[in-house]
Amino acid sequence: MTELLSPPFETDAPPPRAPGRYRWGAPPWLLVLAALCAATATIPLVYLVVRTTEAGLTELLDTLVRPRVLQLTINTALLAAAVTLSCLVLGTICAWILTRIRLSFQRTLLLVSALPLAVPSYLAAYGWLVWFPHLNGFWASWFVMTMVCTPYVTLPVAAALRGASADLESVARTLGRGPLRAFAAATWPQIRPAAIAGALLVCLYSLSDFGLVSMLRFQTLTWGINAAYGASFDRNQAALLALVLVVLALVVVAGERRSRRQVSSVPGRSTMPTRSPGRTWPVYVAVLLAAPLAGVVVPVVGLLSRLLEAETLRAIDVPRLIEAVGATLGLALAAAVVAVLVALPIAALAARYSGRLVAVIEAVGFLGHALPGIVVGLSLVFFALAAVPTFYQTSVVLVFAYVVLFMPRAIGSVRSGIATVPPSLGDVSRMLGLSPFQTWWRVTARLALPGIAIGALLVAISAMKELPATLLLRPTGVSTLATELWSRTALFEFGAAAPYAAALVLVAMVPAVLLSGIRGTAREN
Amino acid sequence: MGWVTIQGMGVAYGDSRVLDDVSLRIPRGSLVAVLGPSGCGKTTLLRAIAGLLPVTAGTITVGGRLVTGPGVQRAPEKRGMGWVPQDASLFPHLTVGENIGFGLPRTRQSDDLYCEPGETAGGVGGLFAGLTRRARANRTRHASLHTTPLAPAPITPDRSRRTSRAARIAELATLVGLAELVDRAPSQLSGGQAQRVSLARALAPRPDLMLLDEPFAALDPLLRSALRTEVAALLRSQHNTSLLVTHDQEEALSLADFVAVMRGGEILQFGSPADVYERPVDPWVAGFVGDTVELDGVWQGGRVACGLGSLPADWMGARAVNDGGAASAPADGTSVRVLLRPEWLTLSAPSTERQTDAATTAIAYAGHDALVSFTLAGGLVVRARVAAPDLPRVGDRLSLGVRQNALAYPLGS
């Protein structure tokens, strides 16, 4: 077939380059700059390792085999595995319903099933505690976490299913396989990468989650780290637990990389016909709505019910609330600006050039993705105390922690923003007499602006909702909405926590609304 | 001496060589087409001339100015070349007029588009060139010191820069026939219009050399042939020196003053379109630029004996008369490959000369003409292009003749 399509002239030239990338090596200054930016992301991990080994190897091994540490590790791994598995099953089913069943209000259903992403896990836990104050332990944590995390699987799998060719499944059916076996044989391999990528997100999320498990009193490593750190006489143990957690997270990331097989895309263009659900539609809708109901509606209604109690309204400390809103916004804004600035060179490099060095730099930039917030927080406490004591307990270190944690989001969207600008526009601009810098400013950056803005907003949203690193690193006297909410819930003051929870939801909605606005205009153009 | 001279140029991606010892001379004011199959390195050649790729060897001079050479690698923005990419590549955030004016200096900041040799480009310093007052002063001074008589005068800075800029935009928009569309967004243009704007944009700063990278390839066939004729006329009317890259032999032959045929990173043949078509240097070039009829033959002192009788022939595209000939020509009796163009065959009533009698076996009708297959006495099949109205019918017996010297090449070439 290929012989028929290609022209009959044989050539010994190398195959044409991938569009949008230069085959030439990146300019050295960009490589150096990007490498420096990526290197900042390694500071917490490197310092954590340094700090732990300082304590001495024997002591390290001693601590490691203590039953307490083992118990925490097993708890963490069990919860992560259970949540990942249940999210994978529920998310894939939801994605299948969204793409293959003809339901009314399909777009709305898709939006609704993405909603739990907007709710921080500790807020969901808070919402459930309002209704059931005695909820605690493994099953409660598993349930709420699954409901919060399912969209991480639903959304990518739905997208993959929409793009998957249905031809193979049809062929499998005509060759005598039943619907389930045909799906497994033909369609699952096409959506597998998306499903596994989603599962990775879920797994990392549940490994590094601190707020939800603490509120539901299930003792995992993150809880143990915070407790050990709070006890303050045993900081070595906190560092060690953090190291164990990081190793778990890195193992998960490495496992996902290994299982990520290259899937050759199937050229067929036809999509699977959607089926009419008939009388069973309430079943499908119920499955779809399970996660949004449990992850959003129950907590938010609980929150509102508490908020509207007269007692709560009377007790709102308005100046303190405004102060927390201000601190949250200011920190998030600073984090967004710095994260985008640091991400820019890495993203520019990754969008335009390929090669081993470029891949390494990009991967290092993504390190924060695998680092739990509490680990970054703890490591930066040590680092600030040892290396830059002037910055200890200042917003500088906290913003830096946000940058390390959320730089991957900025890199991702800035990179795709830059990648959508055809390199030929840059060529044209150069040929018309503009220097590389002027070209970047007047053409590339100008056109990549939506991507850059989305990156900044994603960082801002994440920073607003961040809890564990903020708890460890916030300057004395500064509280964000997340920390206020957490400290009140920890004391079972659900009513007093309500205004902060409501403010957090509202404040985090601002960038979310902006985000959908930018995406909307970007699509129109 | 050409206006643009490329000598011994090589380009390599890592270990793989894409261009090897390419030399090319482009006379001033001419349109040269680089013709080759995809992947032959023709776009690489264009990008290397533009300075968008570093070369590993060779020199490039434009109008006497060295732009690439040992130790010299001028930045693309300092070469004074125009670039028309395959997909028009209009800036989507600017209007048509702003696109055309993109390369025209807007303020005093970037007034010297043309820089002179002696200036090294690249490096971090080069990034900020044009942004600092001192760098600009330096460059202007350089320009005045090193102006060669061949180099075009830089656009003289005048007080009415803004109006002259607007006038130039209007002039070019009119030139490409889009005067009323200057306020449109690029997304509102058709493919042909976008390509015209791209052309106007490249012409605006009055480049010394226009580089066109398959500018018509993305257009539909009908529009393509109309636009390319128009563009070629426009480039000639502007007395522009242009280098056009294409894989379409019809485009190259019909538009260009000279055609360079490329394959595997080498230029195989450079000559006028008629040279390349009628006297290709090897069978591959012959087959790439047009249809061929291939026969086995035996060389006999300027003639070949083949299925169509004994024909006068040229050895490897060279005219036997001009060439000292015999030295390069093979010994008599050598088996050779004989090539003809289908339209060189003539038809006549069956003659007594039995050898060239042929039976019509198939007709591929194309309206204006037809490719007619004939089976010769020995079972050999040849195809002749026959002008439309007087087509034979299948089964007709005719005698074939050849109106032009056949081409002979060594076997296995």
pLDDT at B125: 42
Contact A435 B37 (CB under 8 A): no
> Rounded mean pLDDT of chain B?
81
Average pLDDT over residues B343-352: 81
Task: Please tell me if residue A433 touches chain B, with a CB cutoff of 8 Å.
Answer: yes
Q: Least CB-CB distance to A431: which of B39, B81, B124?
A: B81
Q: Which residues of B touch A429 (CB under 8 A)?
A: 91, 102
Span of A399-408, B288-297, B317-326 with lowest mean pLDDT? B317-326
Task: Please tell me if residue B411 touches chain A, with a CB cutoff of 8 Å.
Answer: no
User: Percent of chain B having pLDDT more than 90?
Assistant: 26
Contact A431 B83 (CB under 8 A): yes
Instruction: Decide the pairing of beta strands B309-315 and B369-376.
Output: unpaired
> Rounded mean pLDDT of chain A?
83
Average pLDDT over residues A165-185: 81
Contact B77 A422 (CB under 8 A): no
Choose from A23-27, A110-114, A292-296 the range with maximum mean pLDDT. Answer: A292-296
pLDDT at B289: 92
| Listed residue (B205, B242, B244) closest to B77, CA to CA | B205
Contact B41 A13 (CB under 8 A): yes
Contact B89 A428 (CB under 8 A): yes
| Listed residue (A285, A207, A214) closest to A252, CA to CA | A207
Q: Least CB-CB distance to B83: which of A16, A428, A436?
A: A428
Instruction: Decide the pairing of beta strands B266-271 and B65-69.
Output: unpaired
Contact A422 B39 (CB under 8 A): no
User: Percent of chain B having pLDDT more than 70?
Assistant: 82
Contact B77 A430 (CB under 8 A): yes
Q: Which residues of A touch B77 (CB under 8 A)?
A: 430-435
| Listed residue (B121, B7, B115) closest to B74, CA to CA | B121
Instruction: Decide the pairing of beta strands B57-62 and B4-13.
Output: antiparallel
| Residue B214 distance to chain A (closest CA, Å) | 13
Q: Which residues of A touch B52 (CB under 8 A)?
A: 427, 430-431
pLDDT at A270: 58
What domains are there in chain B, each with its CATH number? 4-275 (3.40.50.300), 291-410 (2.40.50.140)
Q: Quote the CA–CA distance of A423 and B100 in Å, as a whole number.
A: 19
Q: How far is C-alpha B77 from the geometric centre of its chain's CA atoms? A: 23
Q: Quote the CA–CA distance of A33 and B196 in Å, as a whole number.
A: 39
Span of A147-151, A334-338, A505-509, B298-302 with lowest mean pLDDT? A505-509
Q: Least CB-CB distance to A433: which of B18, B77, B187?
A: B77
Please provide the DSSP assignment of B86-152 as one string. TT----TTS-HHHHHTTTS--SGGG------TT----HHHHHTTTTSHHHHHHHHHHHHHS--TTSP
Task: State which residue of chain B sits closest to A17, comparing Cα positions.
Answer: B39
Identify the residue whose tokens are 């296995």: B412
Q: Which residues, 6 or more positions from A246, have their beta carbon under 8 angstroms from its beta carbon?
A: A45, A48, A370, A371, A372, A375
pLDDT at A525: 45
| Residue B128 distance to chain A (closest CA, Å) | 6
| Residue B129 distance to chain A (closest CA, Å) | 7
Q: Could you read off the pLDDT of A123-155 as tens digits, one per residue?
A: 889 888 888 888 888 999 999 999 999 998 998
Identify from A5, A23, A431 which residue to disrupt to test chain B contact, counting B C-beta atoms within 10 A and taking the largest count.
A431
The predicted complex's ipTM stands at: 0.76
Residue B198 has pLDDT above 70, yes or no: yes
Counting one residue from chain A and one from chain B, the pairs whose CB atoms sit within 8 A come to: 113
Question: Is residue B65 within a helix (H) or strand (E), and if so which, with residue range?
Answer: strand B65-69
Q: Quote the CA–CA distance of A208 and A220 in Å, as a whole number.
A: 9
A41-303 is a CATH 1.10.3720.10 domain: yes
Q: How far is C-alpha B321 from the geometric centre of its chain's CA atoms? A: 29
pLDDT at B162: 61
Q: How far is C-alpha A191 from the geometric centre of its chain's CA atoms? A: 20
Contact A427 B89 (CB under 8 A): yes
Q: Quote the CA–CA distance of A419 and A414 in Å, as a whole number.
A: 8
Backbone dihedral region for residue A391 (phi beyond 0: left; psi -120 to 50: alpha; all else: beta): alpha
Task: State which residue of chain B sits closest to A12, comparing Cα positions.
Answer: B264
Task: State which residue of chain A sits closest to B121, comparing Cα positions.
Answer: A435
pLDDT at B253: 92
Q: Could you read off the pLDDT of B220-235 as tens digits, one per residue?
A: 888 888 888 888 888 8
Q: Quote the CA–CA distance of A340 and A330 in Å, as a whole number.
A: 16
* Terminal-to-terminal C-alpha distance of chain B: 32
Contact A435 B130 (CB under 8 A): yes
Contact B39 A15 (CB under 8 A): yes
Identify the residue whose tokens are 């129950």: A298
Identify the residue whose tokens are 């079943």: A283
Choose from A70-84, A314-328, A451-465, B151-165 the range with maximum mean pLDDT. Answer: A70-84
Q: Quote the CA–CA distance of A251 and A234 in Å, as a whole number.
A: 26
Contact B263 A447 (CB under 8 A): no
The answer to whether the beta carbons of residues A230 and A184 sit under 8 Å apart is no
Residue B129 has pLDDT above 70, yes or no: no
Structure tokens at A223: 């809880």
The answer to whether the beta carbons of residues B42 and B245 sit under 8 Å apart is yes
What does the radius of gyration of chain A's CA atoms come to, in whole angstroms?
Answer: 25
Residue B191, CA atoms < 13 Å, CB-side half-sphere: 15
Question: pLDDT band at residue B355, thresholds of 50, 70 and 90?
Answer: low
Residue B14 has pLDDT above 90, yes or no: no
Q: Quote the CA–CA distance of A230 and A472 in Å, as a whole number.
A: 9
Question: Collapsing DSSP states into helix, strand and coil, what is residue B271?
Answer: strand
Average pLDDT over residues B177-186: 90
Question: pLDDT band at residue B114, thresholds of 50, 70 and 90?
Answer: very low
Domains A41-303 and A308-525 belong to one CATH topology? yes
Contact A438 B89 (CB under 8 A): no
Residue B139 has pLDDT above 90, yes or no: no
Q: Could you read off the pLDDT of A192-221 as tens digits, one per residue?
A: 888 888 899 899 999 989 989 988 889 999
Interface of B with A in 308-367 (CB under 8 A): none
Task: Please tell me if residue A430 touches chain B, with a CB cutoff of 8 Å.
Answer: yes
Average pLDDT over residues A29-45: 89
Interface of B with A in 122-141 (CB under 8 A): 124, 126-131
Residue A524 has pLDDT above 50, yes or no: no
Q: Least CB-CB distance to A433: which of B93, B110, B128?
A: B110
Task: Please tell me if residue B81 touches chain A, with a CB cutoff of 8 Å.
Answer: yes
Task: State which residue of chain B sits closest to A445, comparing Cα positions.
Answer: B93
Write down the CATH superfamily of domain A308-525: MetI-like (1.10.3720.10)
| Residue A516 distance to chain B (closest CA, Å) | 21
Residue B151 has pLDDT above 60, yes or no: no
Task: State which residue of chain B sits closest to A11, comparing Cα positions.
Answer: B264
Interface of A with B in 491-520 (CB under 8 A): none
Q: Which residues, 6 or more positions from B151, have their beta carbon under 8 angstroms from its beta carbon?
A: B63, B64, B65, B114, B116, B208
Q: Least CB-CB distance to A431: which of B76, B87, B127?
A: B76
Q: What angle do CA B336, B342, B347 make, to 5 degrees?
A: 105
Q: Quote the CA–CA distance of A402 and A397 in Å, as a whole number.
A: 9
Residue A12 has pLDDT above 60, yes or no: no
Residue A31 has pLDDT above 80, yes or no: yes
The domain spans of chain A are 41-303, 308-525
Contact B126 A431 (CB under 8 A): no
Question: Collapsing DSSP states into helix, strand and coil, what is residue B33?
Answer: strand
pLDDT at B138: 45
The answer to whether the beta carbons of residues B37 and A7 sit under 8 Å apart is yes
| Residue A422 distance to chain B (closest CA, Å) | 8
Contact A436 B37 (CB under 8 A): no
Average pLDDT over residues A414-437: 89
pLDDT at A176: 80
Residue A151, CA atoms < 13 Å, CB-side half-sphere: 21
| Residue B50 distance to chain A (closest CA, Å) | 7
pLDDT at A24: 58
Residue A167 has pLDDT above 80, yes or no: no
Distances A468 to A64, A473, B190 between C-alpha atoms, Å: 23, 9, 55
Identify from B19, B52, B78 which residue to disrupt to test chain A contact, counting A C-beta atoms within 10 A and taking the largest count.
B52
| Listed residue (A147, A124, A123) closest to A288, CA to CA | A147
The answer to whether the beta carbons of residues A299 and A360 sit under 8 Å apart is no
pLDDT at A337: 95
The residue length of chain A stands at: 525
Q: How far is C-alpha B368 from the geometric centre of its chain's CA atoms? A: 27
The answer to whether the beta carbons of residues A491 and A364 sit under 8 Å apart is no
Q: Could you read off the pLDDT of A218-233 as tens digits, one per residue?
A: 999 999 888 888 876 6
HEC profile for B275-323? HHHHCCCCHHHHHHHCCCEEEEEEECCCEEEECCEEEEEEECCCCCCCC
Span of A353-362, A435-444, B288-297 with lowest mean pLDDT? A353-362
| Residue B267 distance to chain A (closest CA, Å) | 14
Residue B132 has pLDDT above 60, yes or no: no
Q: Quote the CA–CA distance of A495 and A491 in Å, as a whole number.
A: 11
Q: CB-based burial of residue B144 (10 Å sphere; 0-12 exposed, 13-18 middle, 19+ buried)? A: exposed
Q: Which amino acid is at B105?
A: P
Residue B124 has pLDDT above 70, yes or no: no
Average pLDDT over residues A256-281: 67
Q: Least CB-CB distance to A11: which of B40, B78, B201?
A: B40
The answer to whether the beta carbons of residues B200 and B234 sit under 8 Å apart is no
Task: Please tell me if residue A424 touches chain B, with a CB cutoff of 8 Å.
Answer: yes
Q: Which residues of A touch B93 (CB under 8 A)?
A: 446-447
Q: How far is C-alpha B290 from the geometric centre of its chain's CA atoms? A: 15
Instruction: Decide the pairing of beta strands B303-306 and B309-315.
Output: antiparallel
Structure tokens at A235: 């900081």
Distances A400 to A82, A153, A338, A475 between C-alpha atoms, Å: 33, 29, 8, 13
| Residue A454 distance to chain B (closest CA, Å) | 19
Distances A36 to A40, A294, B128 between C-alpha atoms, Å: 7, 43, 21
